[in-house]
Structure 1
Amino acid sequence: MPNPTSSPRSAVQAALVGALCLASGMGIGRFAFTPLLPLMQDAGLSLPHGAWLASINYAGYLAGALLCAAWPLPAGVVGRAGLLATALTTLAMGLGDDYRAWLLWRGLAGVASAWVLVGASSWALAELARRRRSAWSGWVFVGVGSGMMLAGGLGLVAGVRGWSAAAGWQVLGGLAAAVALVAWRPLGDAAGLPAAAPRAAAPAGVFTRDAWILIACYGLFGYGYIIPATFLPALGRQLFPDPQVFGWAWPLFGLAGAVSTLVAMRWFTPVAPRRVFGWGLVLMAVGVAAPALAPGLGALLVCAACVGGTFMVVTMAGFQEARRVAGDGSARLVATMTAAFALGQLVGPLTVPAGPLSSVIIGPSLAAAAALLASAAVLLRPRARPLPVHP
């Protein structure tokens, strides 16, 4: 293991590279589809076909997470592969209008984004820990919200200026390629770091009861948040057809995600990650239910703020809790949690039937909010014994 004082890479560089990786793999590879969906609908894509494109991406995300959990590879290798695949599949979305090809590209993009999340975040958090800067982990996860804000801003500009969805995909693919070039060498320097190291304190392949509870709650989180994360701009487009109005939904969602990680890093560090996870889900449930209970501009803003402002805090808290539960084996637990999350979000879009979105989304949104509250109740329940604390 390299000595913290002997490596030329600083903690600032590690946090920046990790943030750029997550901005590409998650903000673009996973979430660019959401702000570009209204433009694809303008070109004739139906809502059910859009839901299938979303779900095939989530299925790929599930497959990618399962591969990370079952086939341990160096974190840098996993991150590199994910970044390259993110760039190629995003560019490919803008090179044709064959729906079957779109299904393939979105599925592979889902695999890639899981690899980036598990590989790049494991790499960055390990680098920060070696430099005794674990408290800076929030700067790494700022990348997700920043990437979403970038993709949403491009979708807003494209809608206002009348660009095609293909042009938006090509621009974002070019940006993803640039990130892969910038991050390639730093990720390669960590080639010896495993993406899923076994926990020394437990036999390989064995999770504790606390770990399984965490996996289940993280899976319900994936199911609960995915309705607004997939359809928020499309719902805004139906209620307010002017792109200068509905186009702001996703940039605000991403901005809330980016700012929230910094707020959590500054104010919530002394709070147990499990409680941050639980209360984050409660606030998220409010945002998920708002458009279903009171459709309108105010509800959309509440949704963007509550869901966008909690989903990355919940992710960060979940990963921190995984380290408390599993110690040095946390990367494998994170990969399994990511797989559960992907399974939950795979189901979500398929619960939205065909029809006017503002009416058909009510039932699925309320079910999602209920799932989030149930998960929060488990996490916030008083514990009979404290969890072990791993550094």
Structure 2
Amino acid sequence: MSTALASAALAEKPTAGAAVWTGLIGLAVAMGIGRFAFTPLLPLMQQDAGVSLVQGSWLATANYLGYLAGAVICIASPPAPARAIRWGLVSIALFTFGMGLTHEVWLWLMLRFFAGAASALVLIGVSAWAMPVLARLHQAARSGEVFAGVGVGICLAGLVGLGAGVTASGSQATWISLGMIAAIFALALWRPLSRGRVQVMSVSGAARAPLTRQAWIAALCYGAFGYGYIIPATFLPALAHGIIKDPAAFGWVWPVFGAAAAISTVLAMRLLPALSSRRLWGYAQLVLASGVAAPVFATNLAALLFAALCVGGTFMVITMAGIQEAQRIGGAQPGRVMALNTTAFAFGQIAGPLTVNLFNGALELPSLLAVLALVASSLTLGLTAPASARAAERQPETEIHVIPDVRINPRSK
């Protein structure tokens, strides 16, 4: 990953390459570290800090509550996209670094909460900053490369966690290392983002009209997706650690998850151009459901790697398809539909770890409930699709539009 490339290319009118690299790096830090670094580090924290699976569920829930708070903030007072990315990345670096400076659970809860909020700011900021550049340059199909950043970040965090497990570095040192990595990338993007100028469409009066029935259906299905994927996305390495004690073996589960996520979005945009965003969303959720179900019926490394491939290979494809579907059905207010989806998603992923706590740390029944939610969501997407959506397959790359509901600095106009 070349931050120098992004810095050099980003000018008054960013190029497609600059938009891709900036978005990819931003999402790698925001999601790979700010959101999901806890997952590969949980086994280490279980070993050297005595963290239980129930405590891990609460720490995960705190991060997801923060993500929800960040989404609500963006609805109530939309920040400038570049500012949201810059300050969000700096915040993630600080909160991640802080995880390695304490063993107090209540401080961990606070730090994970604020890291989640910062992650939401960066995700929304990247969507509002990079997507308009690609759309303007008629290269919107490269959005798959931007969203590959999530998988790249997950893979990076997983490899750092794997290295820490093999070398017995401990969770505290690993948190500090990830915080330093996040700080390096945050600083690398600070000046380029301050120089970039991105024109975002203004919001018309229609943007405050009541949301349509299709928007609410999409939000419900997106919430089910959040609930469905979050249990394996939180506990896969812990499951692997429970059956295989060698970190050189179980530690590969999360890097595989991240690599699948990184590759999947690019492949989906290039190999499945005939599928509409709604149909891609529904099909991907069925694959995701099979990955969620696998560890319930077989607790071995092969089943966990299969789950990592299925879940990692679909959750960012669904995220990308959900954004495209929000833009399609949103009309004059795609940003509001995406914000509604993000809020529903946050509620869904909060419910996942809480369900695990309800069953005293057992994962089997919560996983089966997640499978049912995903299958029901896919059926709902198919049965409620309007005739126009069923007839229209994904259009050329210019169909990925600007998200207009996020405000930018007037000086950038």
Please, what TM-score do these two structures have when normalized by structure 1?
A: 0.93
Residue aligning to 2:25: 20
Structure 1 residue runs of 4 or more that deviate by more than 4 Å after TM superposition = 190-194, 354-357, 387-391
The 2-side partners of 1:193 and 1:45 are apart by: 47
**1:284 alignment partner in structure 2:** 288
Instruction: Give the equivalent residue in structure 2 for 1:214.
Output: 218
Q: Is 1:371 aligned with 2:349?
A: no
Q: Equivalent residue for 1:295?
A: 299
Counterpart of 1:119 in structure 2 is 125
My pick for the range that moved more, 77-86 or 26-35, is 77-86
What residue is the counterpart of 2:334 in the other structure? 330
Choose 31-40 or 6-15, whichever is displaced more. Answer: 6-15
> SS at the partner of 1:96?
coil
Alignment partner, residue 156 of structure 1: 162
CA distance in 2, matches of 1:202, 1:300: 47
Taking only the aligned residue pairs, the percentage that are identical comes to: 49
* C-alpha contact 2:12 2:197 (8 A) present in aligned 1: no
Q: Does the 8 Å CA contact 1:75/1:191 hold for their aligned counterparts?
A: no
**1:3 maps to what in 2?**
none
CA distance in 1, matches of 2:233, 2:41: 13
Deviations 1:240-280 (A, max 9, x none): 11111110110000000001111101111231000000000
Q: Does residue 351 of structure 1 match 2:364? A: no
SS in 1 for 2:388: coil
Deviation at 1:160, TM superposition (A): 0.6
Match of 2:364 among 356, 362, 365: 362
Corresponding letter in the other structure for 2:150: V
2:13–2:198 CA contact under 8 A, matched in 1 = no
Q: How far does the alpha carbon of each residue in 1:119-149 deviate from its partner, in whole angstroms, 9 at most, with x for none?
A: 1122111111111111110010010000000
Q: Distance in 2 between matches of 1:215 and 1:26?
A: 21
Q: Does structure 1 retain, via aligned residues, the 8 Å contact 2:13–2:197?
A: no
CA deviation after TM superposition for structure 1 residue 332, in Å: 2.7
| Letter of the structure 2 residue corresponding to residue 342 of structure 1 | A
CA contact (8 A) 1:123 1:187 kept: no
Structure 1 residues 13-70: Cα deviation after superposition (integer angstroms, max 9, x where no partner)? 1100000000000010000000000000002111111110000000000010111122
Matches within 5 A, 1:1-391: 7-43=12-48, 44-190=50-196, 198=203, 200=204, 202-204=206-208, 206-327=210-331, 329-353=333-357, 360-381=362-383, 383-387=385-389
Partners of 2:88 and 2:116 in 1: CA distance? 9
* Partner of residue 406, structure 2: none
| Residues 1:116 and 1:161: Cα distance change in structure 2 (over 3 Å) | same
Query: Greater shift after overlay, 270-279 or 290-299?
Result: 290-299
> Equivalent residue of 2:275, what SS?
coil
Contact 1:22 1:147 in 2 (8 A): yes
**Which piece of structure 1 moves more, 172-181 or 367-376?**
172-181
1:334-361 alpha-carbon deviations (Å, 9 max, x no partner): 222111111100110111148896xx21
Cα shift readout 1:256-306 (whole Å, capped 9, x = no counterpart): 000111110111123100000000000000000110122212210110010
Change (3 A) 1:30 1:321: same
Q: Distance in 1 between matches of 2:346 and 2:137?
A: 32
8 A Cα contact 2:151 2:258, kept in partner: yes
Q: Distance in 2 between matches of 1:324 and 1:249?
A: 35
Preserved CA contact (<8 Å) 2:132 2:198: no
How far apart in 2 are the matches of 1:343 and 1:190? Answer: 34
Q: Over the residues paired in the alignment, what is the CA RMSD in angstroms?
A: 2.0
3-state secondary structure, aligned to 1:383: coil
Question: SS at 1:309's partner residue?
Answer: helix
Contact 1:29 1:90 in 2 (8 A): yes
More displaced stretch, 269-278 vs 31-40: 269-278
Deviation at 1:205, TM superposition (A): 5.5
User: 1: distance between equivalents of 2:314 and 2:289?
Assistant: 10
Q: Any conservation in 2 of the 1:72–1:197 contact (CA below 8 Å)?
A: no
What residue ranges of structure 2 are gaps of 5+ in the alignment?
A: 1-10, 402-413
- Deviation of residue 189 (structure 1)? 3.8
Once residues 354 and 270 of structure 1 are traced to their aligned partners in structure 2, the CA distance between those partners, rounded to angstroms, is 42
Deviation at 1:98, TM superposition (A): 1.4
Q: Contact between 2:54 and 2:360, CA under 8 Å: does it hold in 1? A: no
Contact 2:282 2:381 in 1 (8 A): yes
Task: Point out where structure 1 has 5 or more consecutive residues left out of the alignment.
Answer: 1-5
Indicate if the aligned counterparts of 2:207 and 2:333 stay in contact, CA closer than 8 A: no
Name the TM-score, length of structure 2 as normaliser.
0.88
Shift of 1:364: 0.3
Shift of residue 187 of structure 1?
2.7
